[in-house]
Amino acid sequence: MNFIVKRPSDCTDAELTQFHALVASGGEVAIDGLRERIEEAHSLGFCFDGPRLVGVVGLKRPEAEYKRDLFDKAGTTIEPDEFLEIGWAYTEVAYRRQGIASTLFGMLLAEADTPVFATARIHNDTSRRILARCGFSGEGQPYAGRTSQIVLYVRRIDETLLCD
């Protein structure tokens, strides 16, 4: 496996297109404006098996209003302004449970010099365990998402834990 983390501005158009396609194939992310959000991200994590992209995670720069709304819904008093968001995690089914997402989370978090938050569906135990192993803790209370309850996770800047 070949793991790569890049700024979007350093990616080729083909890499951005592949990243977009894999995130979109997961079916969990709003597709409207996704390409623009990928291009504006802090950094993108890719896992290739030969020429084939099999896993992605992104360190995103969400809009202030989106962050404020999300932190309010979770009922936390944490100030969201400085936070980046980690997400768009998707590993192709045949490649799961080999540490791909955990490795990409660790590589992207090593790039972050700010606090980072993430959201996870309440029943997505794998995502929640990856976040916990990467030093995130649940914040506030679960809130209603489009199809299920969502938990907000935050990782503060002084957090020294890395993904294992």
Ligand X SMILES: CC(C)(COP(=O)(O)OP(=O)(O)OC[C@H]1O[C@@H](n2cnc3c(N)ncnc32)[C@H](O)[C@@H]1OP(=O)(O)O)[C@@H](O)C(=O)NCCC(=O)NCCS
Q: Which amino acid is at 24?
A: A
Q: Which of 34, 57, 46, 35 is nearest to 2 (CA)?
A: 46
Q: Least CB distance from residue 54 to ligand X, whole Å?
A: 9
| Beta carbon nearer to ligand X, 11 or 134 | 134
Q: Which of 137, 130, 127, 134 is nearest to 160 (CA)?
A: 134
| Beta carbon nearer to ligand X, 12 or 147 | 147
| Beta carbon nearer to ligand X, 11 or 47 | 47
Q: Least CB distance from residue 79 to ligand X, whole Å?
A: 23
Angle of CA points 73, 63, 141, to nearest 5°: 20
**Distance from C-alpha of 23 to C-alpha of 31, rounded to nearest angstrom:** 9
| Beta carbon nearer to ligand X, 58 or 80 | 58
Q: Least CB distance from residue 30 to ligand X, whole Å?
A: 13
Residues of this chain that bind ligand X (CB under 6 A): 26, 28, 55, 89-91, 96-102, 120, 124, 126-127, 129-130
- Determine which helix (DSSP H) or strand (DSSP E) holds 39, and give its type and residue range: helix 34-39
